Structure 1
Amino acid sequence: MSRVREGALAVGAPAVVGVAAVVLWQATVTGLGIAAYVVPAPADIATELAANLQVVATAAFGTARNAALGLLVGTVAALVAAGVSAAWRLAADAANPLVTATAVVPIVCLAPVFYTMFGTDAQTARVVVAAIAVFVPVYVNTLRGLRTVAPVHRDLLRAHAATPWQATRHVTLPGALPFFFTGLRVASSLAVISALVAEYFGGPVDGLGKAITSAVASSRYALAWAYVVGAVVTGLVFYAVTTLLERLPDAGGSPSARR
């Protein structure tokens, strides 16, 4: 019964806060007569969203496709790099400056450069931007996880004459999984944000970024916010999927790591 109560509280509390925030937003905009170009009322946003649901969904799918590809490419590259760095200290020392530089560079500013490299009629630049944004959190967290092995476990494996592969399979990888999923959760949101922002700088006329720009340019501010809602939902879907992957049986190592 306590689990049911805890589950209801976990779902109900955010829902109540969200509804209260929307009601306060509507009351503030209506009561103060705030212009739509400053911030539209939630009722107007909901009306535009309902009237253009298919268009918003199509734009969200375009952004989600690029974000998913970027997430996949960036994650695979980060896992390979983290594995090499964990096994070879010199590689980690050589990669540190590059990873640090990548972390501090406003990566979306490279979108115009990538459009020049790959062409403005291709989605490649958006995928690359998302992949680079994903790389850093996955790499840093995975590398830390691969290096986090309790000395007692290492000594126990050595006492049992375990091979390097056995030690990696039974201790190192399970211990690194919670760190990997932490990085993946952060990266999932970054992938959506990076892919969306990269759309502002050019490329094919699709995706949420272009849709928001077009709506604002035509003074359809409530519609622009409807696209923002689509972006929020897309980000939540990505985050929820990565969270569910972490909660799969044995995906996060110990039961405590999956909570």
Structure 2
Amino acid sequence: MTASTAHAGAGAGRSAGELDSSSRWARRVRYYLPAALVFIGVIGLWEVAVRNADIRGLPLPAPSQIAGALVENWSAGRWSLGKAAVATLGEAVGGLAIGTAAGVVVAFLTARFAAARELLLPLAIAASAVPIIAFAPLMNNWFGVLNPLSKMMIVAVLVFFPVVVNVIRGLTQVEPAALELMRSYAATETTILRLVRLPNALPYFFTALKVSATLSLIGAIVGEYFGGTSSVLGQVIVASAGALRFDVTWAAIILGALTGIVFYLVIVTIERMVIPWHASVRGLEP
């Protein structure tokens, strides 16, 4: 092979790589552009409507006012939204960890033992049927109104059932052919669990985590409505609305939503790293 041929091959390889990269960016732009345009359009219409229409009786400030309140109260002032968001996120993460750990244990026991299934599954269903707002005063009384653990337990109850249901499905809905193949090699149940059931359960597990990521923020904020320190999003929403500072109220609401979105995206990123081979993850790429 001559030097000119080698240089030509390397140049062709670089060109192909650059073309693939540019086409991937073009696909991503086409994928996200409609949503971005709709978002910008809604914000623009909202701003124009509040500024020009006679809706002063509604507690709906303009987006520019909300953004100003968010910047003004991010780290200073009476509300300290940044500190409140971090505190609420800590409660959500702690509750998600507790609820996920409990849900995985119950799912394993339920999938493995019939007696555990008859005992634990009805309890899980009953816990999910109780409105979360009914648990909030109980948890605050049990663990203390100012104790973040009370909010974590509310979140744990909220995320427990989705984890249980999805992990049970992942452990039990396995291809019969895969089980037959493993048993034909005289594999033990532990080996089947490690090589077949656990890999099959991982996509279901991450589905439960993605659902629970946003639910955990909701549970934490609902729990904070019933009491807590002043530096959490739920209490900021209640106090600012009582003071008729609806710009701060909406800033706290939007900050809570953005925190939930970031939490969800973190779970999606971890999912892509852990199970890049699964079709559900490959389908996330635009």
Instruction: Give TM-score, length-normalised by structure 1.
Output: 0.95
- For 1:106-121, list aligned pairs within 5 A: 106-121=131-146
- In the aligned structure 2, how far is the partner of 1:53 from the partner of 1:36? 27
Alpha carbons 1:79, 1:142 under 8 Å: kept:
yes
Of stretches 36-45 and 237-246 in structure 1, the one that deviates more from structure 2 is 36-45
Unaligned runs of 5+ in 2: 1-19
- In the aligned structure 1, how far is the partner of 2:139 from the partner of 2:88? 17
Determine the structure 2 residue equivalent to 1:90. 115
Of stretches 168-177 and 101-110 in structure 1, the one that deviates more from structure 2 is 101-110
Determine the structure 2 residue equivalent to 1:252. 275
Tell me which of 79, 103, 121 is aligned to 1:78.
103
Residues 219-247 of structure 1: CA deviation (Å, up to 9, x unaligned): 11111111112101110111011111110
SS state at 1:53 partner: coil
Residues 156-200 of structure 1: CA deviation (Å, up to 9, x unaligned): 101111121221111100001001100110011111110011001
Alpha carbons 1:178, 1:253 under 8 Å: kept:
no
- How has the CA–CA distance of structure 1 residues 6 and 93 changed in structure 2, closer, same or farther, with 3 Å as cutoff? farther
Question: What one-letter code is carried by the residue in structure 1 that aligns with 2:237?
Answer: I
Determine the structure 2 residue equivalent to 1:149. 174
Bigger relative contact order, structure 1 or 2 (CA pairs below 8 A, ≥6 apart): 1
Q: Is 1:32 matched up with 2:57?
A: no
Instruction: Give TM-score, length-normalised by structure 2.
Output: 0.86
Residues 2-43 of structure 1: CA deviation (Å, up to 9, x unaligned): 432221223322211111110111122222121264311111
How far is the alpha carbon of 1:120 from its aligned partner? 2.1
How far is the alpha carbon of 1:253 from its aligned partner? 6.7
Of stretches 208-217 and 35-44 in structure 1, the one that deviates more from structure 2 is 35-44
Alpha carbons 2:203, 2:278 under 8 Å: kept:
no
Alpha carbons 1:175, 1:253 under 8 Å: kept:
no
Determine the structure 1 residue equivalent to 2:235. 210
* Identity of matched residues, %: 35
Question: What one-letter code is carried by the residue in structure 2 that aligns with 1:158?
Answer: R
- In the aligned structure 2, how far is the partner of 1:168 from the partner of 1:96? 21
SS state at 1:57 partner: helix
Aligned length: 257
In angstroms, what is the RMSD of aligned CA positions?
1.4
How far is the alpha carbon of 1:254 from its aligned partner? 3.4
How far is the alpha carbon of 1:85 from its aligned partner? 0.6
- In the aligned structure 2, how far is the partner of 1:49 from the partner of 1:9? 31
Unaligned runs of 5+ in 1: none
- In the aligned structure 1, how far is the partner of 2:52 from the partner of 2:154? 42
Determine the structure 2 residue equivalent to 1:197. 222
Question: What one-letter code is carried by the residue in structure 1 that aligns with 2:182?
Answer: L
How far is the alpha carbon of 1:87 from its aligned partner? 0.6
Q: Is 1:125 matched up with 2:150?
A: yes
Of stretches 31-40 and 152-161 in structure 1, the one that deviates more from structure 2 is 31-40
Tell me which of 177, 192, 208 is aligned to 1:183.
208
How far is the alpha carbon of 1:131 from its aligned partner? 0.7
Determine the structure 1 residue equivalent to 2:41. 20
Tell me which of 122, 125, 128 is aligned to 1:100.
125
- In the aligned structure 1, how far is the partner of 2:155 from the partner of 2:87? 13
- In the aligned structure 2, how far is the partner of 1:62 from the partner of 1:135? 21
How far is the alpha carbon of 1:56 from its aligned partner? 1.1
SS state at 1:247 partner: helix
How far is the alpha carbon of 1:44 from its aligned partner? 0.8
Q: Is 1:243 matched up with 2:264?
A: no
SS state at 1:206 partner: coil
- In the aligned structure 1, how far is the partner of 2:278 from the partner of 2:171? 19
Q: Is 1:173 matched up with 2:160?
A: no
Tell me which of 84, 90, 93 is aligned to 1:68.
93
Tell me which of 80, 84, 98 is aligned to 1:59.
84
